[in-house]
């Protein structure tokens, strides 16, 4: 019986321990998880962050516009968008930030097409209006293939998206069946020839059966492994539509209407499939060159990246200035620092104000963009003079609202500055220089080191783990859009795995000014705790060792205030703080919370447990109340003082609501308010939230582990004689 009782007690203790620890363990595990694992069901205690190898799903694309996130105002005024030339693999999976990247290209094919051969082929087939070959596409067939593939299978809204296309084809069949029913009910009598009428009736009856069979067969394609219909499935649908000859061979008013309905519904779908399959068949047939190896790449070190950036910028006229900025500040703020220095140089050289320079940069940037849009060699034109560039641009641009508006404003500035042509030319060349640096910077910032790659691959860029850009030379990326590149492989070393596990912590820390939040939290908690311990010790000493009128009543009033919920005091305290002008200051976060009735009560009870003979002996030796408190009472009450301090520190560290309502800027906010960074109207990033929560509570846990013996002793001995 005794053993059974022990077993029950230990079992309950074990269950209680698990119940208490499980939420913290789940928080820790979640902080290691990848985004897709957070909302997976059923939830798992494991994560792919510990894997040494991952397969990452990707979606091939081309023709993206290069852009840079987080531009400063100074950079945004001179931003010129440019096209990238490469195969872009959009990551349709959890992002990755390191490891050895392997992109399977070995055995895949590409082509070098003779434009004449292509033009002869394209003229031999019927082309839809929107796919008539342009002059550029005659000389560059890859542009035409890209346009076709993007429209039908690879774009954002492809024609052959499985559910949409099958629904459209099924709807066409149903519409035709309704049309046949209408003809059989109302239109058949309009055929005068009885023999023709009977033949057409039999034909319609037969087609109703065939259309119902066709509808059933087509609907089977609604389900499939991919969102886009595969080439094999399109060929099967094409064969089905070919086998069912739905057109009526005779001719009369009713049958002509029927044939017209066929042509405008089902046969439109058929023609689209037929055109695409012919283009695709030719596209595959010309690919006679085989890729001899895969792409293997790994991240560069910071030193390698800086050296590469310096090497790539050696042809820029401000190369020495760029090297100087990099050696002083590193890569991170290069663009903004460079823009700042060249602006200062222009101001000194031409005596122009910063406001005028900002306006001019915006206007000249608009003019430069118009030049690029009209295929001008802007830099060569500017080397002569800005005036000559404007004359050349005006001769080719015709009427352009952006150009006209910017030119009229520049004319006004030219009246104000004597050397306006040289000023405008300098600003324009600086804009081009900054843009060149920006492109080099972006391509270097995201560049991975090529370990192995085909000769035509010049670089691999991995942008924030969300897309991979393969820069190619002399080979069009369009040949790899449909070539089964739907996964890439990433392998991780031991150090990479360790970094992957704590990746959410790094992302969470950098997503908000958590360094400032940490300082504020520590500063407020420490100051509040010290002030509270001092005030509570003095008050507790007064209530325990000093005699004064109304002592018991006043202490009872103090205890009664503990019955008032803290939320009731929020509004009065907020009004008081506002009157003092302390909103968004440390005063508001510290002063209202330096007095704690519970702390006074806890210390008083412990002080009363000290022997009165100690106080008498101290008085005989001439000890004052102040000296007796700090040299005798407090040292003897170390456990309860530490307990009080720990409770206050934890309470101040975890404070949220008060901090939220009395602060307006990150300068004074604390960690608990910073955690709201990961929650928004569209959802919560639970993995990053849990990571931030973990490093937020870690200091408190460590402090408790080192002070728990004092905490237990302080609570256990309080009030004992």
Determine the Cα–Cα distance for residues 60 and 459; give it in Å rounded to an integer.
17
Looking at the predicted structure, is the pLDDT value of residue 555 above 50?
yes
Name the nearest CA neighbour of 606 among 653, 652, 642, 576. 642
Query: Is the Cβ–Cβ distance between 47 and 519 less than 8 Å?
Result: no
Determine the Cα–Cα distance for residues 526 and 714; give it in Å rounded to an integer.
20
Q: Which residues contact 5 (CB under 8 A, 6 or more apart)?
A: none
Q: Which residues are registered as beta bridge partners of 60?
A: 89
Looking at the predicted structure, is the pLDDT value of residue 307 above 60?
yes
* For range 226-232, the mean pLDDT: 86
Determine the Cα–Cα distance for residues 449 and 452; give it in Å rounded to an integer.
9
pTM beyond cutoff 0.95: no
Helix (H, G, I), strand (E, B) or coil at 33: coil
Q: What's the token pair of residue 449?
A: 């080191």
Q: Tell the residue number behind the tokens 């991240």, with chain if given.
A: 299
Q: What's the token pair of residue 517?
A: 């939040």
- Highest-pLDDT range among 63-77, 246-260, 367-381, 488-502: 488-502
Determine the Cα–Cα distance for residues 155 and 148; give it in Å rounded to an integer.
9
Decide which of 62 and 368 is more confident.
Answer: 368
Length of the chain: 721
Looking at the predicted structure, is the pLDDT value of residue 542 above 80?
yes
Residues 165-184 pLDDT 10s: 898 888 888 888 887 777 77
Looking at the predicted structure, is the pLDDT value of residue 251 above 80?
no
* For range 545-565, the mean pLDDT: 84
65: pLDDT confidence band, cut at 50, 70 and 90?
A: very low
Q: What's the token pair of residue 349?
A: 């050289």
Determine the Cα–Cα distance for residues 670 and 700; give it in Å rounded to an integer.
14
Residues 397-453 pLDDT 10s: 776 778 788 888 888 888 777 788 888 888 888 888 888 898 899 889 999 999 999
Determine the Cα–Cα distance for residues 194 and 185; give it in Å rounded to an integer.
16
Q: Which residues of 324-357 are buried (b: 16+ CB within 10 A; e: fewer)?
A: ebbeeeeeeebbbbbbeebbeebeeebebeeebb
Determine the Cα–Cα distance for residues 479 and 145; give it in Å rounded to an integer.
9
pLDDT of residue 715: 54
* Alpha-carbon torsion, ordered 223, 229, 235, 240, to 10 deg: 40
Q: Which residues of 41-79 are buried (b: 16+ CB within 10 A; e: fewer)?
A: eeeeeebebeeeebebebbbbbeeeeeeeeeeebbebbe
- Terminal Cα distance for the chain, rounded: 38
Q: Which residues contact 214 (CB under 8 A, 6 or more apart)?
A: 173, 240, 241, 244
Q: Tell the residue number behind the tokens 């029913």, with chain if given.
A: 181
Looking at the predicted structure, is the pLDDT value of residue 719 above 60?
no
For CA atoms 202, 206, 207, 209, the dihedral sign is: positive
* For range 33-52, the mean pLDDT: 86
| Least confident interval from 78-82, 134-138, 370-374, 418-422 | 78-82
Looking at the predicted structure, is the pLDDT value of residue 84 above 60?
no
Please return the burial class of 188, using the count of CB atoms within 10 Å of its CB with bins 0-12, 13-18 and 19+.
Answer: middle
Q: Is 3 left (phi over 0), alpha (psi -120 to 50) or beta?
A: alpha
Determine the Cα–Cα distance for residues 233 and 170; give it in Å rounded to an integer.
15
Give the per-residue SS3 of 581-593. Answer: CCCCCHHHHHHHH
* Alpha-carbon torsion, ordered 426, 427, 430, 434, to 10 deg: 180
H or E segment to which residue 472 belongs: strand 467-472
Looking at the predicted structure, is the pLDDT value of residue 721 above 50?
no
């Amino acid at each position: 019986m005794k053993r059974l009782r022990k077993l029950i007690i230990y079992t309950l203790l074990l269950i209680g321990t698990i119940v208490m620890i499980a939420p913290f363990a789940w928080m820790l595990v979640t902080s290691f998880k990848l985004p897709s694992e957070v909302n997976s069901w059923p939830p798992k205690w494991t994560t792919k962050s510990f894997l040494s190898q991952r397969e990452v799903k990707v979606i091939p694309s081309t023709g993206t516009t290069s852009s840079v996130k987080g531009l400063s105002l100074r950079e945004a005024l001179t931003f010129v968008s440019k096209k990238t030339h490469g195969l872009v693999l959009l990551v349709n999976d959890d992002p990755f930030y390191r490891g050895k990247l392997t992109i399977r290209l070995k055995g895949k094919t590409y082509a070098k097409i003779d434009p004449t051969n292509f033009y002869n082929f394209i003229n031999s087939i019927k082309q839809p209006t929107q796919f008539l070959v342009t002059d550029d596409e005659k000389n560059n067939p890859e542009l035409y293939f890209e346009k076709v593939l993007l429209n039908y299978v690879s774009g954002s809204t492809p024609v052959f998206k499985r559910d949409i296309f099958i629904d459209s084809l099924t709807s066409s069949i149903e519409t035709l069946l309704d049309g046949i029913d209408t003809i059989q009910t109302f239109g058949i009598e309009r055929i005068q020839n009885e023999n023709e009428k009977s033949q057409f009736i039999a034909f319609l009856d037969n087609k109703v059966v065939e259309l119902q069979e066709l509808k059933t067969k087509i609907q089977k394609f609604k389900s499939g492994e991919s969102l886009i219909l595969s080439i094999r499935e399109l060929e099967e649908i094409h064969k089905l539509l070919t086998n069912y000859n739905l057109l009526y061979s005779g001719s009369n008013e009713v049958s002509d209407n029927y044939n017209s309905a066929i042509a405008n519904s089902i046969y439109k779908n058929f023609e689209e499939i037929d055109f695409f399959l012919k283009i695709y068949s030719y596209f595959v047939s010309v690919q006679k060159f085989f890729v001899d190896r895969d792409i293997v790449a790994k991240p560069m070190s910071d030193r390698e990246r800086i050296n590469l950036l310096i090497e790539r910028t050696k042809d820029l006229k401000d190369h020495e200035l760029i090297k100087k900025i990099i050696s002083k500040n590193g890569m991170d703020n290069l663009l903004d620092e460079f823009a700042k220095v060249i602006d200062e140089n222009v101001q000194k050289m031409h005596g122009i104000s910063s406001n005028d320079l900002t306006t001019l940069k915006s206007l000249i940037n608009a003019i430069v963009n118009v030049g690029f849009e009209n295929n001008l060699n802007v830099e060569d034109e500017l080397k002569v003079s800005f005036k000559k560039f404007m004359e050349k641009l005006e001769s080719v641009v015709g009427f352009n609202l952006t150009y006209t508006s910017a030119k009229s404003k520049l004319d006004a500035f030219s009246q104000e500055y004597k050397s306006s042509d040289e000023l405008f030319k300098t600003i324009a060349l600086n804009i081009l220089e900054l843009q060149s640096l920006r492109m080099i910077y972006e391509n270097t910032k995201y560049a991975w080191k090529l370990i192995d790659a085909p000769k035509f691959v010049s670089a691999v860029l991995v942008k924030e783990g969300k897309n991979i850009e393969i820069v190619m030379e002399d080979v069009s990326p369009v040949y790899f859009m449909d070539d089964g590149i739907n996964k890439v492989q990433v392998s991780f070393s031991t150090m990479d795995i360790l970094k992957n596990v704590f990746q959410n912590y790094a992302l969470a820390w950098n997503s908000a000014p958590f360094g400032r939040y940490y300082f504020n939290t520590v500063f407020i908690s420490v100051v509040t705790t010290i002030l509270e311990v001092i005030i509570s010790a003095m008050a507790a000493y007064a209530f325990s060792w000093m005699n004064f009128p109304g002592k018991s009543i006043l202490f009872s009033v103090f205890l009664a205030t503990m019955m008032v919920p803290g939320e009731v005091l929020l509004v009065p305290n907020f009004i008081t703080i506002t009157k003092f002008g302390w909103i968004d200051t440390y005063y508001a976060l510290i002063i209202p919370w330096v007095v704690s009735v519970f702390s006074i009560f806890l210390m008083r009870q412990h002080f009363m447990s000290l022997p009165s003979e100690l106080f008498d002996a101290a008085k005989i030796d001439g000890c004052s109340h102040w000296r007796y408190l700090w040299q005798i009472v407090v040292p003897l009450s170390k456990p309860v003082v530490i307990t009080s301090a720990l409770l206050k520190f934890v309470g101040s560290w975890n404070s949220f609501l008060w901090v939220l309502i009395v602060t307006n800027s990150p300068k004074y906010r604390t960690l608990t308010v910073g955690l709201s960074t990961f929650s928004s109207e569209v959802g919560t990033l639970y993995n990053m939230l849990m990571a931030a929560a973990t490093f937020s509570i870690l200091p408190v846990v460590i402090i408790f582990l080192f002070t728990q013996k004092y905490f237990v002793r302080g609570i256990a001995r309080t009030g004992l004689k």
